């Protein structure tokens, strides 16, 4: 009998400061596999809805407590489903409790600072659940592929990222990072679908096709970044994402476990309110 | 036969610069009335879901277009349902397209600026739908009731608010402002329910009871503010809110009409993508 898959089987091994950082072998995970699927899309969607309700409950406690924070980092190639994941996984979570932060190419002012400056400014505060739709990881992917930073600078950035995430974690932030893993064929189909539907053209930039030509370079850059920045306090998970339903369920399961582990509870009742009658 | 209610019947008459500003008579609107209810809660909820899907579609076009912006301002007494409105009305709207901005008491740094400084910083950008959960209106309500500003300063602030909102409107922002109107009895019940449920104590501050003691002063402050700041480019609507279902449906109807009037469309197809085959 096949072993039931565990979320931790999809966690990128932790960076070990004593050893040379090892790129994570993305080819070891099949993007079209569905380890957390229960068989049919309908059952998966029911499961997703059930988790959504639990996440909503946990988020309310997070918010009520105003002490801990959660940061979800979503990364992946174009069309890997970052937007779709947010939409599906958080459908039943109170929008008041979420802060979704999209990172685009840095503005002139942002680029005039260190690469973590604009990211730090968006870190979740006590009680917040923040979602980074793209993130500081773009700054060890894009410039690396475009060769505007060399290997030494890249290594320094990995270190700065680890240290920055350690600061957030030490200040009460639970960090989960998901790499939405799709195949090159799947990307072709999704890009083609956008091209074939004029109402989707706004999502499309000709530069997406340029980035696709550098698919292998981006995969290599991801492999390095994942291996160098998966840590106990900010682990990376590989989410097989050719199936959108599977991707959504797996991210939801991961967040559910993560938030359950936080032991969130409502703050204690206020003694001063006991027996108070409103006039 | 009774006239079918119109949204505009609930719009606060526009401020007329040529005349002395007139407080809006809140007693003219019954908070327990349900003018936009269709009879049963079930039908209203179906209607709400149907509008939610339309709002989601409109929001996608707003986002795709990246030109216009929407600002929804929610104000009301404690427990009037600002949070609940956001949750219910936007349940089916993509969270990626919303930015919800809660305004609390100003920080020391914020208070060291003019009262619109922190508000301006949160104005929606092109393509965004921003929701102000409380807003700059707190600064003509709280200090007025606490008598930390006098009538002249208050009048100046109304003017600055009108001019600020005019700036936003001229820059492509559609502004809708809702006053969630509940009765003093309804507030008592809702506050009492929070006190009686220890898991709701975190929502409760003893200062809420102080503010309740000044109910009449706050209503008067609202009456003045509504009358002085309802304009063609940033109208105020009174939302009877004792019934949560009615409140949600009415706000949803208002937003639907508002966004339909914006004539949102997807941007034109990109000629450069015509016939492109992804490799």
Q: Give the whole-angstrom CA distance, residue B219 versus residue B56.
A: 34
Kindly give the pairing relationship between strand B173-181 and strand B69-76: parallel
The band of B244, judged by pLDDT with boundaries at 50, 70 and 90, is: very high
Q: Which of B92, B103, B196, B273 to mutate to test the interface with A (most CBs of A within 10 A)?
A: B273
B181 burial via Cβ count (<10 Å: 0-12, 13-18, 19+): buried
- B202 closest CB neighbour out of A87, A199, A267: A267
pLDDT for B56 equals: 97
Q: Which of A121, A201, A248, A272 to mutate to test the interface with B (most CBs of B within 10 A)?
A: A201
Closest listed residue to residue A255, CA positions, set A120, A85, A133, A140: A85
Chain A interface includes B206 (CB < 8 A): yes
The mean per-residue pLDDT over the stretch B201-222 comes to 92
Whether the CB-CB separation of B79 and A278 falls below 8 Å is answered with no
Distance between A276 CA and the closest CA of chain B, angstroms:
7
pLDDT tens column, B147-169:
999 999 999 999 999 999 999 99
Determine what percent of chain A is predicted with pLDDT higher than 70.
99
**pLDDT > 80? residue B21:** yes
Distance between B72 CA and the closest CA of chain A, angstroms:
14
Whether the CB-CB separation of A237 and A12 falls below 8 Å is answered with yes
**pLDDT > 60? residue B134:** yes
Chain A interface includes B195 (CB < 8 A): yes
**Phi–psi pair at B167, nearest 5 degrees:** -60, -45
pLDDT tens column, B33-66:
999 999 899 999 999 999 999 999 999 999 999 9
**H or E element that contains A98:** strand A98-102
Chain B interface includes A3 (CB < 8 A): no
B209 burial via Cβ count (<10 Å: 0-12, 13-18, 19+): middle
**pLDDT > 60? residue A1:** no
The mean per-residue pLDDT over the stretch B13-22 comes to 91
Q: Where are the alpha helices (DSSP H) in chain A?
A: 41-65, 82-89, 108-111, 117-120, 142-145, 151-170, 184-196, 206-213, 215-229, 244-261
pLDDT tens column, A139-179:
999 999 999 999 999 999 999 999 999 999 999 999 999 99
In this structure, of A1-15, B124-138, B241-255, the range with the lowest mean pLDDT score is: A1-15
pLDDT for B14 equals: 97
Residue of A nearest to B101 (CA): A96
Q: Give the whole-angstrom CA distance, residue B75 versus residue A102.
A: 28
Other CB atoms within 10 Å distance of the CB of residue B101? 18
**pLDDT > 60? residue A42:** yes
**pLDDT > 70? residue B1:** no
pLDDT for A117 equals: 97
Residue of A nearest to B266 (CA): A199
Q: Which residue has the tokens 């380890």?
A: A35
Closest listed residue to residue B129, CA positions, set B192, B66, B78: B66
Distance between B272 CA and the closest CA of chain A, angstroms:
9
For residue A199, list chain B residues with Cβ-Cβ distance below 8 A. Answer: 64, 266
**pLDDT > 70? residue B22:** yes
The mean per-residue pLDDT over the stretch B121-147 comes to 96
The band of B2, judged by pLDDT with boundaries at 50, 70 and 90, is: low
Q: Which residue has the tokens 């030490």?
A: A170
Q: Do A269 and B201 touch (CB under 8 A)?
A: yes
- B94 closest CB neighbour out of A87, A198, A206: A87
pLDDT for B111 equals: 93
- B278 closest CB neighbour out of A188, A269, A270: A188
B214 burial via Cβ count (<10 Å: 0-12, 13-18, 19+): middle
pLDDT tens column, A232-245:
999 999 999 999 99
**pLDDT > 90? residue B20:** no
Q: Do B266 and A199 touch (CB under 8 A)?
A: yes
**pLDDT > 60? residue A276:** yes
Whether the CB-CB separation of A227 and A15 falls below 8 Å is answered with yes
For residue A191, list chain B residues with Cβ-Cβ distance below 8 A. Answer: 278
Chain A interface includes B265 (CB < 8 A): no
Q: Token pair for residue A241?
A: 């994402």
Closest listed residue to residue A247, CA positions, set A49, A72, A33: A33
Domains, chain A, ordered by start? 37-265 (3.40.50.300)
The band of A2, judged by pLDDT with boundaries at 50, 70 and 90, is: low
Q: Give the whole-angstrom CA distance, residue A260 versus residue B221.
A: 45
Radius of gyration of chain B (CA): 20
The band of B227, judged by pLDDT with boundaries at 50, 70 and 90, is: very high
pLDDT for A4 equals: 80
Other CB atoms within 10 Å distance of the CB of residue B90? 26
pLDDT tens column, B175-195:
999 999 999 999 999 999 999
Q: Which residues pair with A100 in a beta bridge?
A: A131
Chain A interface includes B158 (CB < 8 A): no
Residue of A nearest to B194 (CA): A273
Chain A interface includes B13 (CB < 8 A): no
Distance between B218 CA and the closest CA of chain A, angstroms:
17
**pLDDT > 90? residue A116:** yes
The band of A57, judged by pLDDT with boundaries at 50, 70 and 90, is: very high
Distance between B108 CA and the closest CA of chain A, angstroms:
17
Distance between A33 CA and the closest CA of chain B, angstroms:
23
Secondary structure, 3-state, chain B = CCCCCCHHHHECCCCCCCCCCCCCCHHHCCCCCCCCCCCCHHHHHHHHHHHHHHHHHHHHHHHHHCCCEEEEEEEECCCCCHHHHHHHHCCCCCHHHEEEEECCCCCHHHHCCCCCHHHHCCCCCCCCEEEEECCHHHHHCHHHHCCCCCHHHHHHHHHHHHHHHHHHHHCCEEEEEEEEECCHHHHHHHHHHHHHCHHHHHHCCHHHHHHHHCHHHHHHHHHHHHHHHCECCECEEEEECCCHHHHHHHHHHHHHHHHHHCCCCCCCCCHHHCCCCCC
**pLDDT > 80? residue A82:** yes
Q: Do B201 and A86 touch (CB under 8 A)?
A: no
pLDDT tens column, A172-195:
999 999 999 999 999 999 999 999
Distance between A97 CA and the closest CA of chain B, angstroms:
9
- A195 closest CB neighbour out of B64, B102, B276: B276
pLDDT for A39 equals: 85
Q: A125 or B3: which carries more pLDDT confidence? A: A125
């Amino acid at each position: 009998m096949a072993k039931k898959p565990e979320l931790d089987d999809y966690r990128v091994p932790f960076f070990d400061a004593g050893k040379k950082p090892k790129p994570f072998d993305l080819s070891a995970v099949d993007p079209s596999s569905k380890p957390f699927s229960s068989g049919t899309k309908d059952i998966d969607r029911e499961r997703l809805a059930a988790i959504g309700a639990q996440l909503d409950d946990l988020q309310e406690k997070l918010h009520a407590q105003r002490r801990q924070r959660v940061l979800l980092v979503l990364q992946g190639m174009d069309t890997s489903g970052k937007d779709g994941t947010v939409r599906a996984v958080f459908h039943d979570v109170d929008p008041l409790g979420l802060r979704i932060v999209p990172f685009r190419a840095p503005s002139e002012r942002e680029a005039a600072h260190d690469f973590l400056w604009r990211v730090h400014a968006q870190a979740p505060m006590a009680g917040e659940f923040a979602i980074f739709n793209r993130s500081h990881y773009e700054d060890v992917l894009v410039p690396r592929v475009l060769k505007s930073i060399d290997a030494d600078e890249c290594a320094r950035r990995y270190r700065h990222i680890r240290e920055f995430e350690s600061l957030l974690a030490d200040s009460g932030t639970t960090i989960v990072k998901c790499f939405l893993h799709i195949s090159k064929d799947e990307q072709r189909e999704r890009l083609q679908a956008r091209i074939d539907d004029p109402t989707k053209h706004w999502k499309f930039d000709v530069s997406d096709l340029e980035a696709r030509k550098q698919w292998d370079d981006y995969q290599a850059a991801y492999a390095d970044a994942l291996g160098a920045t998966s840590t106990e306090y900010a682990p990376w998970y590989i989410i097989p994402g050719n199936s959108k339903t599977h991707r959504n369920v797996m991210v939801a399961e991961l967040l559910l476990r993560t938030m359950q582990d936080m032991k969130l509870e409502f703050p204690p009742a206020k003694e001063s309110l006991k027996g108070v009658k409103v006039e």
